[in-house]
Amino acid sequence: MTTTKRLPLLPARGRGIGKDDEELARGAKALGHPARVAIVRLLLARGECVCGGIVDRLPLAQATVSQHLKVLKEAGLIEGEIDGPRVCYCANPEAVKRLSGLIDALVETKGRNK
C-alpha cells in the first residue's frame, strides 16, 4: 500500500490553515452548485421570497430547492423566517460581502508568497 505525503496548506500569512480559510471553504462549498448561486442571486435582487416563489423561478422540484436552501442557510448566506405555514427567505448581504472579501483576499495573495 502506497501512502501519499500531504503538503500543508499555507495561506498568505504562512501560518497553516486559518479561520478565514475555513470560512472561505464553507462559503465556497455552499455556493458550489449553480442552483445555490441562482438562489442567492435571486434573493439579493428581490430582497425576500417564500420558498414557493423560489421554486417557481428554478427548474427544480420543491424538495430539491428546500435542500439547497438548507445548505445556504447553514452557511449563513441566507436567513429564513417562519411566516405561518411558509418560510420567507432573504439573503444575508453581510455574509455575502464577507465571502466576496475573502475571495478578493485569496486573489490578492498571488505573488505574495514567492
Residue-wise pLDDT tens digits, 67-109: 999 999 999 999 998 888 888 999 999 999 999 999 998 888 7
CB of 16 within 8 A of CB of 72? no
Confidence of residue 17 (pLDDT cuts 50, 70, 90): confident
- Predicted local distance difference test score (pLDDT) of residue 76: 95
In a domain, 48, yes or no: yes
Q: Is 28 part of any domain?
A: yes
pTM more than 0.85: no
Grid look-up 428581490 returns 46
Task: Answer whether residue 1 is part of any domain.
Answer: no
- Asked if residue 2 belongs to a domain, the reply is no
3-state secondary structure at position 49: strand
pLDDT for 99 equals 94
User: If you average pLDDT over residues 43-63, what whole number do you get?
Assistant: 93
